[in-house]
């Protein structure tokens, strides 16, 4: 899909660059507070822990496995969206307790049959040479 992708892409910032760089190498890296602080993961990436306000954070690779927390079929896709099918926007809860906004790549023909809580796995979608998006697939 590399040369055909025309939908909007994210612009990495200094705080999110490692996340996007990791996706290009098919790894998911989340920011985590050091163990001697509160030790919790957070996402989106920030320079200060949102729980204890520590700046002692490290990028930590995670599996990306999780469960479907919520989803919505967007019948009015955002401006600039060019794919024919309405995107199924999802919130995935990772094993680490983090919730990620994403979308499903393999929704059934009738998305209303999707069950909350089902297992999902990450899909690394290289949409351009610079950007790989993190999408999810129903297992
Ligand atoms: Zn913390």
pLDDT of residue 1: 44
How many whole angstroms from 33 Cα to the centroid of ligand 1? 5
More confident of the two residues 63 and 80: 63
How many whole angstroms from 94 Cα to the centroid of ligand 1? 18
Query: What's the whole-model pTM score?
Result: 0.87
Cα 88 to Cα 33, 72, 107, 126: the distances in Å are 32, 6, 7, 18
Selection from 104, 98, 96, 99 nearest residue 122 by Cα? 104
The CA angle 25-97-36, to the nearest 5 degrees, is 85
> Any idea which fold 63-139 has?
OB fold (Dihydrolipoamide Acetyltransferase, E2P) (2.40.50)
pLDDT digits (tens, 9 = 90+) for 41-74: 999 999 999 999 999 999 999 999 999 999 998 8
What residues does CATH 2.40.50 cover in the chain?
A: 63-139
Judge contact between 93 and 99, C-beta under 8 A: yes
pLDDT of residue 5: 80
- Which pairing describes strands 28-33 and 57-62: parallel, antiparallel, or unpaired? antiparallel
- Provide the 10 A C-beta neighbour count for residue 79: 6
How many whole angstroms from 97 Cα to the centroid of ligand 1? 14
How many whole angstroms from 26 Cα to the centroid of ligand 1? 26
């Amino acid at each position: 899909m590399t040369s055909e992708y025309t939908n909007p892409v994210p612009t990495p910032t200094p705080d999110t660059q490692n996340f996007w760089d990791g996706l290009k190498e098919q790894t998911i890296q989340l920011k985590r507070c050091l163990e001697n602080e509160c030790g919790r993961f957070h996402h989106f990436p920030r320079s200060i822990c949102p729980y204890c306000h520590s700046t002692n954070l490290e990028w930590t690779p995670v599996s990306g496995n999780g469960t479907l927390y919520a989803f919505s079929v967007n019948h009015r896709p955002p401006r600039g969206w060019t794919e024919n099918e309405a995107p199924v926007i999802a919130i995935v809860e990772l094993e680490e307790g983090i919730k990620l906004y994403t979308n499903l790549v393999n929704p059934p023909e009738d998305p209303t049959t999707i069950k909350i809580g089902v297992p999902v796995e990450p899909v690394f979608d290289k949409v351009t040479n610079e950007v790989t998006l993190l999408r999810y697939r129903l297992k």
